[in-house]
């Protein structure tokens, strides 16, 4: 038996004394025997891309990656750490408002349930940030000796979203905090996860703020744009982790790219041939790894023609997308128009309520497209 599986077996069976931390309970539960269950255990249902580690932990970069489990017992504590100071997890128990946990580079443990009698609770643990903020290592959970965890059955329908900061949920969170800080992200409030909820589907958010199809917001073409990060479980160009596409076969792929390629701060809009050719190449790759998926392309909520009528982003991007679909020339690839949402006085990214409106727009169109 490989060593890593021996480790996991021992962790699952051996009673452990709870590791103390600032948030640990001071109750009698600390003196009980506990079991540690690694995050990669089959007692969790995993939604989203993650890298399993030999330790049994899960390494996570993309937003919205969620562990789902049904807990029955008296004691449940979560253990995790991050690569930096800008990682948050949201923990939802029995459908209540999420408890938001800020991670540090050192391992921490948070008591989530500490009851004097057995309780049954559905638990969701969701990564709230995105890769460039910092990456999360979900180590696992500590439970009381007689507790049980059962993976939640996820919807049979599967969606995959490929996009930029909007898809990653930047702006959908707390906009009263400083710009570009972690509270601005809230994937549960994002249009992508709301569409999936409305259509009763799982969803993977494969996205990276500031990146595009051919170039980033600053004009760079070598930072790991969408055709590259699409291939990665962890979107870190310095040390990327490859994703095995066979692990998740979506029924529907929604691509929302172009906002950063068409950034007015770069200068002229992209040339037709270069952009359309790159989009066709990306469609070829999407079809190769997901041959049974319906593919929908949209221009996203930020681009508009009003900001600079001499460079009408929205109109030109729509033309390029439809050109790419025609040139690709295969069935089941569709254009889905997006409504422009302007953000607010603080930032041009859509707000939480605007994400909800985007989800309504897209759910209606995608539901009709898929007959869902």
Active site residue 42: no
**Locate tokens 């989800």: which residue?**
359
Q: Of 68, 204, 290, 349, which residue is the catalytic one? A: 349
Which parts of the chain fold into alpha helices (H)? Answer: 3-13, 191-198, 226-229, 272-289, 313-328, 352-370
* Per-position DSSP letters for 238-261, written without gaps between them: TS-EE--GGG---SEEEEE--TTT
**CA dihedral over 352, 121, 111, 25, signed as positive or negative:** positive
Q: For residues 316 and 275, is the Cβ–Cβ distance under 8 A?
A: no
Which residue in 174, 323, 344, 347 is the catalytic one? 347
Q: In what helix (H) or strand (E) does residue 234 lie, and over which residues does it extend?
A: strand 232-234
Please report, for residues 26, 65, 198, the alpha-carbon distance to residue 49 in angstroms, rounded to integers and kept in the order given. 36, 6, 21
C-alpha dist (Å) from residue 50 to 4, 137, 222, 307: 17, 10, 24, 38
- 347 is an active site residue: yes
Task: Determine whether 349 is an active site residue.
Answer: yes
Alpha carbons 183 and 52: distance in angstroms, whole number: 26
Q: Give the other-Cβ count within 10 Å of 2's Cβ.
A: 8
CA 342 to CA 351: how far, in whole Å?
A: 9
Catalytic hit among 41, 82, 87, 165: 165
Angle between helix 272-289 and helix 313-328 axes, rounded to 10 deg: 50
Residues 42, 44, 49, 55, Cα dihedral to 10°: -60
Q: Would you please indicate which residues are annotated as catalytic (active-site) residues?
A: 165, 347, 349
């Amino acid at each position: 038996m490989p060593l890593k599986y021996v480790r996991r077996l021992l962790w699952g069976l051996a009673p452990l004394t709870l590791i103390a931390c600032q948030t640990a309970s001071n109750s009698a539960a600390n003196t009980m025997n506990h079991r540690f269950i690694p995050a990669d255990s089959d007692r969790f249902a995993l939604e989203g891309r993650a890298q399993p580690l030999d330790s049994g932990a899960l390494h996570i970069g993309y937003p919205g990656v969620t562990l789902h489990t049904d807990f029955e017992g008296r004691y449940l504590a979560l253990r995790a750490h991050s690569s930096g100071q800008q990682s948050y997890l949201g923990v939802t128990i029995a459908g209540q408002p999420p408890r938001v946990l800020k991670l540090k580079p050192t391992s921490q443990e948070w008591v989530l349930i500490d009851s004097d009698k057995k309780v049954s609770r559905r638990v969701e643990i969701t990564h709230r940030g995105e890769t460039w903020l910092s990456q999360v290592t979900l180590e696992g959970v500590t439970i009381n000796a007689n507790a049980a965890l059962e993976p939640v059955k996820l919807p049979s329908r599967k969606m995959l979203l490929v996009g930029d900061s909007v898809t990653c949920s930047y702006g959908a969170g707390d906009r009263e905090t400083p710009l570009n800080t972690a509270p601005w992200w809230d994937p549960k409030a994002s249009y992508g996860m709301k569409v999936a909820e409305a259509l009763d589907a799982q969803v993977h958010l494969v996205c990276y703020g500031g990146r595009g199809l051919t170039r980033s917001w600053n004009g760079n073409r070598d930072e790991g744009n969408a055709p590259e990060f699409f291939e990665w479980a962890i979107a870190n160009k310095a040390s990327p982790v490859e994703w095995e596409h066979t692990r998740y076969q979506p029924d529907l792929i929604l691509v929302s790219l172009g906002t950063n390629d068409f950034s007015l701060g770069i200068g002229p809009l992209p040339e037709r041939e270069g952009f359309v050719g790159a989009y066709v190449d990306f469609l070829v790759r999407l079809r190769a790894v997901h041959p049974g998926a319906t593919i929908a392309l949209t221009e996203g909520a930020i681009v508009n023609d009003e900001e600079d009528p001499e460079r009408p982003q929205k109109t030109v991007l729509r033309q390029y997308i439809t050109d790419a679909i025609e040139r690709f020339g295969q069935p089941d690839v569709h254009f889905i128009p997006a409504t422009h949402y302007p953000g607010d006085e603080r930032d041009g990214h859509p707000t939480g309520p605007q994400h909800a409106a985007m989800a309504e727009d897209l759910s209606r169109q995608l539901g009709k497209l898929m007959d869902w």
